Amino acid sequence: MTAGRFITFEGGEGAGKSTQARMLADWLEARGIALVQTREPGGTPGAEAIRALLLDPQGEDWPLEAEALLFAAARADHVARLIRPALAAGKWVICDRFIDSTRAYQGGEGSLSDADILALHQTGSGGLLPDLTVLITVDDTETAKRLAARDGDESDRIGGRSAQFHTKVARRFTEMAKAEPDRFVTISGAGSPQEVHQRVIEAVSARLGELA
Ligand code: T5A
């Protein structure tokens, strides 16, 4: 049996990652590919419990280092209990956010460097990296419109941080994609979900073999 493929979706708040992860999963399943669709933080009962600790808008305001450790702990459980077993069983794994989100949101903040985040990932999850990471980029005005239509004024504890913070996050994602062109593909999230999906399947087919 061949090992499955591991694909992650990354990007800022409301870029359309969940929508595109779902559409890609449906498209792959329609082609007979067995897969698991999951998300971070979360994906297993333990990691979902940590998600609630991290994202509840009324919850604890964690020190940055504790926040990074909680994301790494949630990921360690998710990788050990769901992602690695699925890949070993030959399934594909489609994950909404993964290590690059921690690098973008927690890395480079306060005393934490990108190397610190990657060291935690090595300890917690054996340094597992995706075969392909789809970075979806959308301009700020469009994402604000989409999120306002869906959530009104509500956001989670991290999503609700300043515009300046989210600009830094977007810049870090772009820098990561430039530094690792073999793993990342950057897709414009502009246009309808179907138009973006078309770009995603072209990129996935080109990078992971012709699947259509
Ligand atoms: N975080 C996470 C860290 O700080 N460190 C980490 O290590 C990790 C893993 C996660 C939060 O935690 C932070 C990042 C986040 O702040 P989340 O709920 O997973 O929280 O947050 P998001 O990933 O931002 O989830 P969203 O659902 O807000 O964004 P998506 O998934 O990018 O967007 P999606 O697909 O849900 O779409 C948003 C809305 O737009 C519509 C959808 O229908 C939806 O209503 N939409 C479109 N509308 C028009 N045109 C399109 N092309 C559209 N595509 C989607």
Q: Over the chain (212 residues), what is each successive 10-residue block's mean pLDDT? A: 87 95 97 97 98 90 95 98 97 98 94 96 98 95 84 83 89 97 97 98 89 57
Q: What is the pTM of this model?
A: 0.96
CA of 143 to the centre of ligand 1 (A): 9
Domains of the chain: 6-207 (3.40.50.300)
Q: What is the pLDDT of residue 211?
A: 63
CA of 76 to the centre of ligand 1 (A): 22
How many whole angstroms separate alpha carbon 176 and alpha carbon 103? 9
Tokens of 1: 């049996």
CA of 146 to the centre of ligand 1 (A): 10
Q: Which atom of ligand 1 is nearest to the CA of 191?
A: 52
Q: What is the pLDDT of residue 142?
A: 85
Q: Which atom of ligand 1 is nearest to the CA of 19?
A: 35
- For a mutational test of ligand 1's pocket, the pick from 98, 105, 106, 168, i.e. the residue with the most ligand atoms closer than 8 A to its C-beta, is 105
Condensed to tens digits (0 to 9), the pLDDT of residues 119-166 reads 999 999 999 999 999 999 998 888 888 888 888 878 888 888 888 888
Q: Give Cα 185 to chain centroid, integer Å.
A: 13
Amino acid at the residue 31: R
Q: What is the pLDDT of residue 162?
A: 85
CB-based contacts of 37, cutoff 8 Å, min separation 6: 21, 22, 25, 94, 95, 96
